[in-house]
Structure 1
Amino acid sequence: MRLFLTSLIFSLAFAYFTNSNVLNFFALFTGILYVLLMGVKNKLCFIVGVFNALIYAYIAYINRLFGEVFLYLLCYFPMMIYGYFYWNKNTLIKTLSLKNFILIYIAIFIIAYFYSFYLQNLESRFIYLESFIFSSGLIATILSLKKIINHYIYISISNIASIYIWAILYIEDSSNLAVLMLMILFFILGIIYLFSWKKDLK
C-alpha cells in the first residue's frame, strides 16, 4: 500500500504541475509502481506491468516509435503475464560471469542490428536507438524473470537511450514531459535497485 500511495501521489502531483493528460498520468503511475514493486521483489509488479506495457505501447505508437511498440506489446506484455506465475519458482538472486555478461551484450547488438532492417521498412523515427532498446529490453526482461541481477545493468544502459529519445520528443511537444520523467525515474530506480539486489546475492 505504501508503494501504491507513493506512486499515486507523485504521479498526481507531477500531472497537476505539468498539465499532463490522463494517458501520460497512467503511464507514469503504472511505470513507477512497477519499478518499485520489482525492486522489492513483489510479484504484483507483473500485474501492474501488464497495464503499463499496454499504455506505453499506445503512447509509443502515437509518436511513431515502432521499435518500442513491439517491445512493449509483443515482449513486455506477454512476459508480464508469464512472470506473474513464474516468479515464485525462482527465489535466489543470481549474477552472470563476466564472460556470459559480455556474450549477452554481443547478442544484444546482433539482435539490434538485424531488427533495425525491420524498423527501416516501418520508417520508425529512431531506428538504431529503438533497435538497441528493443534487444536490451528483451534480454533484460528474460533475465529479470530468472532473478539475474545483471538485468538492471542492461536495462539502465537502455534507459539512457530512451531518455535521449524522449528528450527530443519533449522538445517537439511538451506533453511528452511525463514520459521523459518516467524514463529518468526508470534509470535512477534501476541503479538504486541494482545495489539493493546485490545485498541479496547468495
Structure 2
Amino acid sequence: MILLLSSLIFSLIFSYFTNSDILNFFALFSGIAYVLFMGVKNKFCFIIGVFNALIYAYIAYLNKLFGEVYLYLFCYFPMMIYGFFSWKKNVYISKLSPFKSILIFILIIFISYIYSFHLKDLGSRFVYLESFIFASGLIATILSLKKIINHYIYISISNIVSIYIWTRLYLENSSNLAMLVLMILFFVLGVYYLFSWRKDIK
C-alpha cells in the first residue's frame, strides 16, 4: 500500500507542476508502481504491469516508436499475465554464469539485427535503437520471470537507450517530459534493485 501511495503521490505532484495530460500521468504512475513492486518481489507488479504495457504501447505508437509498441503490446503485456500466474514467492534469486551472460548478450545483438529489418519497413523513427530495446527487453522479461538477477543488467542498458530516445523526443515536444522522467526512474530503480537482489542470491 505504501509503494502504491508513494507512486501515486509522486505522479500527481509531477503531473501538476508539468501540466502532464492524463495519459502521461497514468503511464508514470503505473510504471513507477510496477518497478517498485517488482523490486520487492511482489506479484502485484504484474497486475500493474498489464496496464502500464497497454498505456506505454499507445504512447509509443503516437510517437512512431513501433519497436516499443511491439515490445509492450506483444511481449510485456502477455508476459505480465503469464508472470502473475507463474510467479512463486519462495523461488530463490539466481544469476547467470559469465559465459551464459555473454551468450545472451550476443543473442540480444542477433535479435536486434534481425528485428531492425522489420522496423525499417514500418518506418520506425529510431530503427536500430528500438530493435535493441525490443531484444534486450524481451530477454530481460524472460529472465525476470525466472528471478534471474541478470535481467536488471540488460534492462538497465536498455533504459539508457530509452533515455536517449525520450530526450530527443522531449526536445521536440515538451509534453514528453513525463516519459523521459519515467525512463530515468526505471534506470535508477533498476540499478538500485540490482544491488538489493544480490543479497538474496542462492
TM-score by length of structure 1 reads 0.99
Report the 3-state secondary structure (helix = DSSP H, G, I; strand = E; otherwise coil) of the residue aligned with 1:91.
Answer: coil
1:42-75 CA distances to partner (integer Å, 9 max, x unpaired)? 0000000000000000000000000000000000
Pair 1:89–1:35, CA change in 2 (3 A) = closer
Do the aligned partners of 2:53 and 2:76 also contact (CA within 8 Å) in 1?
yes
2:98 corresponds in structure 1 to: 98
Aligned to 1:70: 70
Cα 1:198–1:89, aligned 2, differ >3 Å: closer, same or farther?
closer
How many aligned positions are there? 202
Aligned to 1:189: 189
When the two structures are superposed, what TM-score results if normalisation uses the length of structure 2?
Answer: 0.99
Equivalent residues of 1:90, 1:147 under 8 A apart? no
CA distance in 2, matches of 1:182, 1:65: 16
Q: 1:34-183 residue pairs with structure 2 within 5 A?
A: 34-88=34-88, 91-183=91-183
C-alpha separation in 1, matches of 2:176 and 2:90: 37
Moved segments of 4+, more than 4 Å:
none
CA distance in 1, matches of 2:90, 2:68: 28
| 1:93-113 Cα distance to aligned partner (Å, 9 max, x none) | 000000000000000000000
Query: 1: CA distance between counterparts of 2:4 and 2:141?
Result: 22
Deviation, 1:91, is 1.0
The change in CA–CA distance for 1:184 and 1:115 in structure 2 (over 3 A counts) is: same
Q: Distance in 2 between matches of 1:180 and 1:134?
A: 18
* Percentage of matched positions with identical amino acids: 75
Consecutive unaligned residues of structure 1, counting only runs of 5 or more, are: none
Distance, in Å, in 1 between the alignment partners of 2:55 and 2:10 is 18
Q: Residues 113 and 131 of structure 2 are in contact (CA less than 8 Å); yes or no, is this contact kept in structure 1?
A: yes
How far apart, CA to CA, are the structure 1 residues paired with 2:74 and 2:183? Answer: 20
SS of aligned partner of 1:124:
coil
The Cα RMSD (Å) is 0.7
What is the letter of the counterpart of residue 53 of structure 2? A
Question: Any idea what SS the aligned residue of 2:87 has?
Answer: helix
Deviation at 1:89, TM superposition (A): 7.2
Question: Once the 2 structures are TM-superposed, how far is the Cα of residue 162 of structure 1 from its aligned partner?
Answer: 0.2
